[in-house]
A and B are shown apart, each in its own frame.
Chain A
Amino acid sequence: MPSFLFVIGITACVCLFPGTAFSKSTHDNDYLVELQQQARQLKLHEQRVWHLLLKYKPRLLGGVVSEADGMDFFNAPDGKTNPESELAATLAGFFLPADKPAADTEHPQCNFPARFKWLHQQLQFDATRLEIQACERLERWVSELDPVGVTLVFATYYLNNPASMFGHTLVRIDSRDRQGERKLTNYGANYAAIPDTDNPFLYAWRGLTGAFEGRFAIFPYYTKVQEYNNLESRDLWEYELDFTEAQLNTMLLHLWELGGTYFDYYYFQENCSYHVLSLFEIARPELRLKDQFFFSVIPADTVKIVMAQDNLVKKVVYRPSIVSVMNQKRHLMTSEQQRVFQAIAKEKILLDADEFTRLPDGTKTLLLDAYMDYLQYQSMRQHSDHEVKIPYPVLLARSRLQTDNAAHTPSLHFSSPPHPGHGADRFRIATGHNDREPFMEFAYRPAYHDLMARDAGYDKDSEIIFMDFKLRYFLESERVRLDQARFLSITALNPYDPLLFKPSWRFNFSVDTLRDRDCGYCNTFSGSYGRGIAYRPAFFSPLLLFSFLDLKTDFSGHLKRDYRLGGNAEIGMYYDFNEQLRIKLAGNYRVFVLGEHKRFFTTHAVTRYALTQNLDMRLEFNRYDHNNEGIFAVNYYF
């Protein structure tokens, strides 16, 4: 039993010493003082475990402060900032007579079982002098969950949603009798904000300033799978972790303590992934997972940290989304079958059409199964309240076809797990030459992924570049110029899919150099927004073609009338020779019709060779109107 240690501790004491009623308050007090002294001598309040239990973290100006914000979490009035008095008060709480707690509240021993367990280990409570309480609700909770494992679950990106590349993590508690094919029925634990507004501006503001309450919650894992896999169509990656049952018991007792409190939710620091890591640390205090994060905790990075620990991850399991499941089947179809399938999905032909009925049963099964996935995906996207949107005739037709076991359940991955991805920060150093002189280039950006980088671990068709600052030092004119500052640039390429059509789009907001002019590398504020199409011949084809039409504007004192506004048409391609080598070729035609008028071509050729997960080299040739430049760059990710 996982709850073994805990339950045995309690029952043994209760059974052995049924007559605890004899204890007198003075004796209690003596023993309490004794324990508090002992704790002080051992300096228990300075130990890492105590700080993990109370969520203490160092303050900038010395001292500590607990991340927990619900005051019920503490026993001492100054417990939020004072580990020592909190420890003394916690011990005192344990001496509260069994009949003392008010209605609907639990005894401190039952409210803080993880602290009780640890302090008991450190101080060896004498059960004749400290009445050990029976915690009925807690015991039922622990024995119902009965964990033999814990799994870190990472939800990948949405289709067509670059920002979701940041991902989301939650924890699955793997119970003893919910193994194997019953894994979906396990409980999940999630830390999430409880938003009180639908207004996006307020939402962002409150998320950043910690104005939302964040709480731990527990739910059947299958509800989350429905939500992520089916409703949002995000693949899940499950990292099954290796903890002993004793460690899991501690984690669970700690989770119980957390369940009763709340935290101010900080979108970037104290977010879902941060608190998930703290659960692992409490189970194995020697793990130092949170220490590596200073500014922000990106969910994918937490997976990398967990993956980097020795012997922590036992197994990685892929749980494809409904769209991925459908695409796995589509991938198996011949082009003729694809055509029939699309005709059915688009309701151009019915299931009694000759084109379908003449197919062999195996093919019909494949097509119908894919069709039902498609309908399920569509119905999830509409408001559908327990109503099956798969038409009854389709279900009936499928039920008359004998099951073709495992014939169409390939395990093709339509997303990649986050752990082999490159780091989010990037430092770049480059050397190049333009028509006049050689230059050196230094650049840094904190986030996140560009389309020329290795795409393992990322959505391979999306790009988010944030705060990418690039300086150039020109060797002959001995000048340092801000070459480019991309504040935010997002590209979502959505390869054309006749079934699930979505346009590609991109936008960019930056300070750039007016590269088509000879104005001494003068700068401009630049913004653009565009829509386009992309095309990939097959799901796993190395070729991706794209084309965009953008609205583009520049604001600069070096332009006549200080601005120009116009359009940009681009056509280009990406091609992967292998995992290391990728090229991009692209050409643009720009027409500025307002402000300063100008028409010109730009062309780009970029080659990337990835040396390791976090290091790549690039060779670039760019031509802007009549100005050329060539650059050799090395990018390091961390």
Chain B
Amino acid sequence: MRTKQEYLIRYKDGNLYCELADIWIDPSKPVKKALITHAHFDHFTFGCEEYISTKETAILLKERVGDNIKIKTFEYGEEFKINGINISFHPSGHILGSSQIRFIFAEEKWLISGDFKLQKDQTCKQYEIVKTDYLISECTFGLPIFKWDESNKVANDISKWITNSPEKTSLLFCYSLGKAQRLLNEISQTNFKGNIYSHGSIHKMNNCYRELGIDIKDTIKIENKKKIDELKGSLILLPPSLSKGSYLKNFKNIQTAFASGWMSIRALRKRSGYDKGFAISDHADWDGILEVVKKSEAKNVFFHHGDSEALSKYLVEKESTNILLFGK
């Protein structure tokens, strides 16, 4: 057995780090070289000398933070070499441009899952099964109580929720990158045919998706001084940060909902303060994580981003998987 220092990839200062290539994965502080799995802000930080990502991730990032970053891009599956290590991006199905990252060195394969989901999502490439020896996987929803419904079922529930209250303005809160576009795509295939508005931050991302060739329904950018009557019966997509505070005072007679995997638990739904919760996630559920562990054929698995205790114990007991612990 090797010591932690001898692993190709390990935890350093709370971030994933490959010493041999002197490269960091989704670092939370400025470094020389950073591989970026996807364009969510909790996976990105300003001030790195160089970023490396997929083309889509680079475009989304520049749209969000400006052109002032040095970023090198590669296609999915395209291998590049750093210090003798072969590195490649592979679709992770989380959002547009999101990727798993594979490292091959001295015939040893390492795979960082990034954030991923297996569910169908027409707004991004489907998760690709990648074989590996070592798997570093996220486990945000690492308990068997998490079992996602088909996304069209959730979309139909949302559609019903809006149309059942035609006198109200329905505010649906969701992450502005990824979740919003997926929801728009799904909702446009339901019976709901009313107006859809979106907040500026979401509107911007919608346009970006469209430029990258993803079919996203047209939405109206929400202006602060909209007439209340015009909004009756329509859907407005907003980022969760606006759910608390004075922003909601712009509207009258509203119903609110939050779209997130956590909403599958009644207690969390009640505590969230939203009227309604729709359980839809861009992360894998329990079965999804188990499937990836199995199909990747990894002999050694690390978990991060989540409570991995139960998942690890289960894999050791049931599947005799070798679970390694990261020193954080």
Partners in one complex: no
Residues of B within 8 A of A (CB): none
